[in-house]
Chain A
Amino acid sequence: MHSGAPGAYRLAGRGGGPLHSGVTPAPETDTAASLGAEPDVRLVQLTKRYGDVVAVDGVSIDIAKGEFFTLLGPSGSGKTTTLRLIAGFELPDDGRIELGGIDVTKRPPYARDVNTVFQDYALFPHMSVQDNVEYGLKIKKVDRAERRRRAEDALDMVSLAGYGARKPAQLSGGQRQRVALARAIINRPRILLLDEPLGALDLKLRQGMQVELKRIQGEVGITFIYVTHDQEEALTMSDRLAVFDQGRIVQVGQPAEVYERPSTEFVAGFVGVSNMLERDGRRFTVRPEKIRILDDGRPSDGEHVESGTVVDVAYAGMVTRYVVALDAGGELQVVRQNLETTSADALEDRGRKVHVAWRPQQTYAIEDGPPDQEEA
């Protein structure tokens, strides 16, 4: 079933399932070789089934050493299962996993040079923070003095120096999260796997931890594989990201690439706002911040202009989001910075006739049909 799929990943659907068909994004963007480094992680045609459900369906990725690589997708898209396959908690039904060129597909978790930061942190409740952090070293029989020293360094790195004697239950969510990180990093693994590590934190903490994580990755120089369903998190943190849908990778690339040039409607919709239009039989997307609402009705040179009606306005502090129904068909979301607008002004715009304009070079053709359209 997987034999006829050359290239690093495939989009061809299997019989019966909803299909994302046709488009083959430029393959050079997803091989680590193109980044000039030997791949640290290589997944080849990785497949995992649970009964009739194919959780991971022929996933292939190369990840370079020191990369911050994100697996992005909605829940149930196979990103966490992929991570668990790399960690060794699940064994694939098909395909291969290589770490640093060595095939580890059949190895148990304890024989793989990876460590995981779990979504629920998975700290051992019967051990102190110190013992939690030292756990991996104790298993490896590192001597006590060395253990102490490295645990101190690790706790210091996550700004939890002096918390060693506490039990996990005495820490806040954010602190537990950082203990989990210290416990993983202290082992200096080849690869650190992070399973929605910030999912349980509130927005402020999350943003703080995003910066922290990037800093720590820079300090330790370990390859990070990061699972999230939060597209903003994926865009701000990743060197590259892979968008998952129904067990398959639909696009791999750098954040700007994936955001600005989504290869399918699913990616366009999941990474941002889809804004799909069809004109002259050509389907394309244009990002909401690239569209101008013309107050004076005059486009600048080369801009494409259409008329429409504002059907919805949402004032969001920094920006206002408009939904404009176009006279030529279709709806667009438009985001405008609130340079002079106030919330009162913005809300009055509902029902107004407007002209919107964008530069043709800001539109990207989407070649696949809507997800429900099957292709023979």
Chain B
Amino acid sequence: MGWLVVAYLGSLAVLFIAAFWQLDEFSGKVVHSYGTGNFETLWNGHVYRTIVLRTVGIASAVTVTDAILAFPIAFYMAKVASPRVRGLLVVAVLMPLWSSYLVKVYAWRTMLNENGILNWALHPLGLKGPGFGNVATWIVFSYLWLPYMILPIYAGLERIPNSLIDASGDLGAPPGRTFRRVVLPMAFPAVVAGSIFTFALTLGDYITPNLVSSTQFIGNVVYANVGVANNLPLAAAFATIPVIVMVVYLLLARRLGAFEHL
């Protein structure tokens, strides 16, 4: 445990320090002199700003989509389904997590392909699939992380005693108002807990954008700078951005009481 903390915080510290190193333009070697040059490059580079906005924007869109999709499923599992059906649903929700990430993304790639099943199915209706791009990224991420949203909400809803729902009805509230005034406020911290997963996982991913889109995420830029461009300091500087975004996100989540629902 102690070693884990040292290894994790240590590498994080190295990352932060590396972000302030420089790259010698001629030799392409890392120079251990400190400066904020990397951050200036990122701040002034129009491309980098677009990439940050795209990454955070799609992460947000995925989070909202998953919350909207997951809530009714989780509600059905926790409060409507019989114990037998509930068990089957839990398995069904977990099942995709047992198969490889790459298999799932490649499956989507095939489906979204110009000659894929989606276009084939939509063709008679005179419609066309989204093809590869930001929409595809959004769809695939929403699919990939949905279980991570369903499970905390399911757990959160299950913790709401049925007597509270009875009590609200007893005090004159029709089901819709019971949902708004009792179920939703009580389950909201669980939604936030789930959103930590969907948001953070999207923010840090670079494989899916690579496979179903030609656009770049923060992760793609970091990857390219570590590997191809061999500009480690710039990669480190860019990598601090999702870290900062997540720190802010987690602080907000804690204020909303999400940590009791993880």
Contact = CB atoms under 8 A, between A and B. Distances in A.
SS of B interface (majority): helix
Contact of B166 (A89, A135, A136, A184): A89
Interface string A96-125: 000000000000111000111011101011
Interface stretch (B5-13, B85-93, B96-104, B169-177): B169-177
A116 B168 CA distance: 10
A183 B163 CA distance: 14
Contact of B170 (A116, A120, A126): A116
A116 B173 contact: no
A140 interface: yes
Interface in B199-258: none
B170 A110 contact: yes
Given A118-B163, A118-B166, A122-B161, A139 B186 contact: no
Interface in B131-180: 161, 163-164, 166-174, 177
A7 B91 CA distance: 53
B64 interface: no
A131 to B, nearest CB: 10
Contact of B171 (A88, A89, A183): A183
A136 B168 CA distance: 8
B167 A118 contact: yes
Contacts of B169: 88-89, 108-110
B187 to A, nearest CB: 10
A118 B171 CA distance: 12
B190 to A, nearest CB: 13
Contacts, number: 59
A63 interface: no
Contact of A187 (B171, B177, B181): B171
A302 to B, nearest CB: 55
A110 B169 CA distance: 5
Interface in A148-203: 183-184, 187
Given A120-B161, A122-B163, A109 B170 contact: yes
A139 B167 contact: no
A118 B161 CA distance: 12
A120 B162 CA distance: 11
A91 interface: no
Given A110-B174, A140-B172, A187-B172, A122 B186 contact: no
A250 interface: no
B61 interface: no
Contacts of A89: 166, 169-170
A120 to B, nearest CB: 6
A87 interface: yes
B163 A139 contact: no
Nearest to B182: A124
A124 B172 contact: no
B185 interface: yes
Contacts of B163: 118-120, 122
B171 A135 contact: yes
A124 B167 CA distance: 9
A125 B167 CA distance: 12
A122 B172 CA distance: 15
Nearest to B186: A126
A126 B172 contact: no
A116 B166 contact: yes
A122 B173 contact: no
Contacts of B161: 120, 122
A87 B166 CA distance: 9
Contacts of A88: 169-170
**Which of B161, B170, B185: most chain A CB closer than 10 A?**
B170
Given A120-B161, A125-B186, A126-B186, A139 B170 contact: no
A122 B174 contact: no
B182 A110 contact: no
B93 to A, nearest CB: 26
A139 B178 CA distance: 10
Nearest to B189: A126
Contacts of B171: 110, 115, 135-136, 139, 183-184, 187
Interface string B113-139: 000000000000000000000000000
B173 A139 contact: yes
A50 to B, nearest CB: 12
A118 B185 CA distance: 21
A222 to B, nearest CB: 15
Contact of B167 (A108, A114, A116, A126): A116
A125 B186 CA distance: 8
Nearest to B177: A139
Contacts of B166: 87, 89, 109, 116, 118, 122
B6 to A, nearest CB: 38
Contacts of A126: 185-186
12 contacts: A87-B166, A89-B170, A108-B169, A108-B174, A109-B170, A110-B171, A110-B173, A114-B170, A116-B170, A120-B163, A124-B168, A126-B185
- The 5 A-B pairs with the shortest beta carbon distances in the complex, nearest first, are A136-B171, A122-B163, A122-B167, A109-B169, A139-B172
Interface of A: 87-89, 108-110, 114-116, 118-120, 122, 124-126, 135-136, 139-140, 183-184, 187
Given A109-B169, A110-B170, A122-B163, 10 more contacts: A89-B170, A118-B163, A118-B166, A120-B163, A122-B164, A124-B164, A124-B168, A126-B186, A136-B171, A184-B171
